[in-house]
């Protein structure tokens, strides 16, 4: 419920409908949250999360993320779906590695897994790692673009932008000014859902450049800190 308040600013009735609960049940829950100091009432039916509530939410989201990583590690330690480089036969010793967020494998004397299925070059293949370590989180480079009133894409050094994005796995853009700057530089970024894509890509081992409008930078950095993702800011 706290997350719903933070992300959508819904009122009591709308939250009840989304969660499939009665307004009375939601009202009682809000009373408990107010008593705990997690929520304050703005007016009848409308609430906002307090600093205490936000801190609780951030802490528990981070714990949930750590738990998710633990579950993923357990799943991957059993089997992994990789993309075959060259033909692979069931039962063969293969080597797997991460590349741009995906898992690849090939026959190798330096094997670290076994193929559980057969596959042609470029096909998916199920492998069983001897030991699985999640990919290392790489640093996100945040390239700031001025807001439209401060010049927007017109104030961007496009040559510098091209250099920053040259050897990266993924480029995302947050804000229209950032999107236009990328287009001017001949870059095609992920725009819709860019923040979530950025976070997920980093957890899969990708090197990401986030081209971000100045007014949206703080929100992006807050999310990266919550996810324990290293970053650098480039003006």
Segment 53-89, tens digit of pLDDT: 777 766 666 555 555 555 555 555 568 899 999 999 9
Query: Would you say 46 and 28 are in contact if contact means Cβ atoms under 8 Å apart?
Result: no
Task: Identify whether residues 189 and 107 lie together within a single domain.
Answer: no
Q: For position 178, which CATH number holds? A: 3.40.1010.10
Burial class (CB in 10 A: 0-12, 13-18, 19+), 24: exposed
Average pLDDT over residues 201-212: 95
Task: Identify whether residues 205 and 163 lie together within a single domain.
Answer: yes
Selection from 123, 176, 131, 126 nearest residue 154 by Cα:
176
Query: Would you say 126 and 219 are in contact if contact means Cβ atoms under 8 Å apart?
Result: no
pLDDT of residue 150: 96
Task: Judge whether residue 4 has pLDDT over 70.
Answer: no
Q: Where are the beta strands (DSSP E) in 136-228?
A: 140-145, 170-174, 208-213
Q: Count other C-beta atoms under 10 Å from residue 120's C-beta.
A: 10
pLDDT of residue 10: 63
Task: Identify whether residues 99 and 145 lie together within a single domain.
Answer: no
Structure tokens at 138: 């790489």
Least trusted range by pLDDT, from 49-53, 166-170, 180-184, 206-210: 49-53
The fraction of the chain above a pLDDT of 70, given in percent, is 85
Average pLDDT over residues 35-60: 76
Q: For position 35, which CATH number holds? A: 1.10.10.10
pTM, whole model, 2 decimals? 0.62
Residue position matching structure tokens 């945040």: 142
Task: Identify whether residues 217 and 149 lie together within a single domain.
Answer: yes
pLDDT of residue 100: 87
**116-125 tens-digit pLDDT:** 999 999 999 9
Residues composing the chain: 235
The fraction of the chain above a pLDDT of 90, given in percent, is 57
Task: Identify whether residues 124 and 206 lie together within a single domain.
Answer: no
The domain tally of the chain equals: 3
Domain interval for residue 87 = 75-129
Task: Identify whether residues 18 and 96 lie together within a single domain.
Answer: no
**136-172 tens-digit pLDDT:** 889 999 999 999 999 999 999 999 999 999 999 999 9
Looking at every residue in the chain, the average pLDDT score rounds to 86
Q: Determine the distance from the C-alpha atom of residue 53 to the mean position of all C-alpha atoms in its chain, rounded to a whole number.
A: 23
Residue 135 lies in a domain: no
Task: Identify whether residues 144 and 213 lie together within a single domain.
Answer: yes
């Amino acid at each position: 419920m706290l997350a719903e308040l933070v992300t959508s600013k819904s009122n009591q009735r709308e939250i009840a409908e989304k969660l499939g609960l009665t307004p009375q049940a939601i009202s009682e829950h809000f009373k408990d949250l107010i008593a705990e100091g997690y929520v304050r009432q703005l007016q009848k039916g409308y609430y906002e999360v307090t600093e205490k509530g936000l801190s609780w939410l951030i802490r528990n989201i981070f714990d949930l993320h750590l738990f998710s990583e633990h579950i993923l590690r357990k799943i991957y330690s059993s089997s992994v779906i990789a993309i075959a480089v060259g033909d692979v036969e069931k039962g063969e010793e293969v080597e797997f590695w991460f590349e741009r967020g995906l898992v690849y494998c090939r026959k190798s004397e330096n094997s670290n897994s076994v193929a559980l299925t057969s596959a042609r070059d470029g096909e998916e293949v199920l492998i069983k790692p001897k030991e699985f370590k999640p990919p290392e989180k790489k640093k996100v480079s945040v390239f700031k673009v001025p807001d439209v009133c401060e010049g927007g894409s017109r104030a961007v050094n496009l040559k510098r932008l091209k250099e920053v994005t040259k050897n990266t796995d993924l480029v995302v853009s947050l804000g229209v000014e950032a999107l236009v700057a990328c287009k001017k530089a001949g870059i095609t970024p992920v725009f819709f859902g860019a923040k979530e894509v950025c976070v997920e890509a980093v957890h899969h081992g990708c090197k990401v450049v986030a081209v971000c409008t100045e007014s949206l930078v703080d929100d992006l950095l807050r999310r990266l800190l919550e996810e324990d993702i290293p970053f650098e800011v480039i003006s």
